[in-house]
Amino acid sequence: MLRSYLAAFLLLGSTSSLARANGVATFDGLTEGYLGPTFTSGGITFSSMWNGIVGDDDFACENASTTFAGFPGFSSPNVLAFAGYVPGGGAGYHRIVSFEATTGQIETIAHVNLLLSAVHPGNQIRLEAWLGGTLAASTSYTIPGPSGFFQTQLSLYDVPYDHIVVRGVGAVDGGAFFACVDEVALYYTPPIPGGQPFCSGDGQDPTAAIPCPCGNTGAARHGCANSVNPLGAELLTSGSLAQDRVVLEASGMPATSSCIYLQGDQLVNAVFGDGVRCTGGNLLRLRTRTNANGASRFPDATDTVSLSQRGGVQVGSGVLRFYQTYYRNASAQFCPPETFNVTNGSFVIW
């Protein structure tokens, strides 16, 4: 299932530059047996396996062509197993608490396809996207019960990260679950044109871990609602990365309010006025603008520098920068006592 989905997606990307697959691991080219505590397959390096048993930290490749033959989308013959394997076409479900995977690059999309047994129902399997030491986003699957065998896919989209962690969480047996991994895919979509929005104020975006401070939930890919726009203000990234003409465009703000365009190099989660700020680290105020009809941009026709020049980054360097725009919202009756708000975020891999 994951393989066919990726094939269609990447075929589209091959002609329109929509996606680049940095790592797709199906484990089918490996030889059945122990792989050690660290190994690489399909451009992805797997490490830090923990199953709760000291000294039992080896990954394994297992031929599961018989056991999982009837599962839709199963990429025969192999699966990734943990601390053991059953020779031949039979396979077991292995106890696991957590493991890590990375391509060594910044990615924005992750898929993990699991085959699991309903041991410890109520425990959760969580897919975490990490950027350095910061948890950028997560999604989870609750193990059903009381018994049975299941297939599930955990996915994250539009989240910049440098490694993922698959982790068991729950009150039973230290969060352990029993599973095999069929496929893992880590890849990214280029941020230009259209940008990569994140930190939405809709209450659903995993990169915005803090809710809008007054219950002023906005729309997907917008910030928290403001006094004139229940959807919230929106920040988009447009232009050409190759030609160094990337433009930040903010809209949905009060008609003639002032705003400041920000650049940061780290993810944070902080209440900021009537909204949530996810752009942090070394913050740079790029420009102050006065909105016209609730919108503005940087750079515009009055600027003599590009976004990369003002931000001190080089096109082609591969560095990651986050952007957000905060603006005055002078209505003291809306979400008191603060009188400012912020858009969603957008990021660029330069």
pLDDT number for residue 192: 52
Q: Label residue 29 left, alpha or beta by phi (over 0 means left) and psi (-120 to 50 means alpha).
A: alpha
Q: Label residue 21 left, alpha or beta by phi (over 0 means left) and psi (-120 to 50 means alpha).
A: beta
Burial of 299 per CB tally in 10 Å (0-12, 13-18, 19+): buried
Structure tokens at 112: 């993990």
DSSP string, 42-67: TTEEEEEEE-SSTT---EEEEE-TTT
Rounded to whole angstroms, the Cα distance separating 262 from 83 reads: 47
pLDDT number for residue 238: 78
pLDDT number for residue 96: 96
Tell me the pLDDT tens digit for each residue of 124-162: 999 999 998 999 999 999 998 888 888 888 988 778 899
pLDDT number for residue 189: 61
Do the Cβ atoms of 68 and 112 come closer than 8 Å?
Answer: no
pLDDT number for residue 45: 98
Do the Cβ atoms of 288 and 258 come closer than 8 Å?
Answer: yes
pLDDT per residue, tens digit, the chain (350 aa), is 333 322 332 333 322 233 444 788 999 999 999 999 999 999 999 999 999 887 778 999 999 999 988 777 788 899 999 988 888 988 889 999 999 999 998 888 898 999 999 999 999 999 999 998 999 999 999 998 888 888 888 988 778 899 999 999 999 999 999 999 999 989 876 555 445 678 999 998 888 889 999 999 999 889 999 999 999 999 988 777 878 888 898 999 999 999 999 999 999 999 999 999 999 999 999 999 999 989 999 998 889 999 999 999 999 888 889 999 999 999 988 999 999 999 999 988 88
Peptide bond into 211 cis (omega under 30): no
